[in-house]
Amino acid sequence: MDVTCTVDDGILTVAMDDGDLNTLDPAAFAALIAALDDHPEPAAVVLTGREGILSAGLDLRWMQSHGRAGVQELLVGFGTCLLRWWTEPRPTVCAAGGHAIAAGTMLAMACDHAVATEGGFWGLTETQVGLQMPQFGLALARANLRTDRLEDLLLPGARIDAAAAVEAGYADVLAPDQAAALALATERAQVLAALPAAAYAGTKQRLRGAQADAVLAGLHADVAVLTEHLEG
C-alpha cells in the first residue's frame, strides 16, 4: 500500500493506493498513523483512496497466510489505527471516491465527516465472511449510524449503496464522482479548520476520549476472543 501525503493551503491530504482494491495490512496501518504523526502542522486532514475505491477491507489473503497470531496482529493494528484517527485533535474528513466496504467503511466513520460517491457500495460486512464485529467497529458504528439502523445493518452484514449509506449514517453527504467528493471533502476540511482549534480538539476529546480509551484498554482481550476459533 502506497500512502502519499500532500499539504496544500493548510490541509493535509492522505491518499491510499495499492493499485488494486486498497486492502489493508499492518504496514498500511503504520503508514496511516505516521501520516498524522509526521505532519502536525496542517490544520485539518483529508483521507482518500484511489480511483473508484477507498478500501475493500482487510487483506484476507494476508490473514489466511499468517495464522491466528497474524490475524490478531492485523486486528490489533487496525483497531489502534482507527482509534488514532477517531481521536485525532484536528478535523478529519474522508473523501470516499467509490467503494468503502468493511474496513473501508470503518475508516470513513473514524473521520469527523465523510463524503460518499454515487456508484459506491458501503457496509460492515464482517458477518458475511464469518467474522464477529470487534468492539472498535461497534464503537464507531454506534457513534455514526442511526440507532434504528444499527442492528439491521450489522447483524446481516448488509452491503448498501452510497445514497443509503448517507441516509443510514455511514457517510454524511453524497457526491456525483470522485473529483467532486475530494472537492467537497477539502471544502469541509477548510470550514472545520477555521474553527478555534483548541475548542474543536477539546470537544472531540470529551465526545470520544473515554470510549476510545476503554476500547483500547480491552483491545487485545477482545481480539483474542474473536480469534480463539482459528488454527495456528
Q: Is 38 helix (H, G, I), strand (E, B) or coil?
A: coil
63-74, pLDDT tens digit by residue?
A: 888 889 989 999
For 177-206, how does the pLDDT look when each residue is reduced to its tens digit (9 = 90+)? 999 999 999 999 999 999 999 999 999 999
What is the pLDDT of the chain when averaged over all its residues?
96
Closest CA to 106 of 158, 44, 58: 58
Which pLDDT score, from 0 to 100, does residue 218 have? 98
Stronger pLDDT, 229 or 178, i.e. the higher one: 178
- Distance separating alpha carbons of residues 188 and 184, to the nearest angstrom: 6
End-to-end CA distance of the chain: give it in Å, rounded: 26
CATH number of 2-226: 3.90.226.10
Residue with cell 452510497: 162
Q: Mind listing the pLDDT tens digit for each residue in 102-112?
A: 999 999 999 99
pTM across the whole model: 0.97
Q: Are residues 57 and 182 in contact, defined by beta-carbon separation less than 8 angstroms?
A: no
Domain ranges of the chain: 2-226
Q: What pLDDT score was predicted for residue 232? A: 57
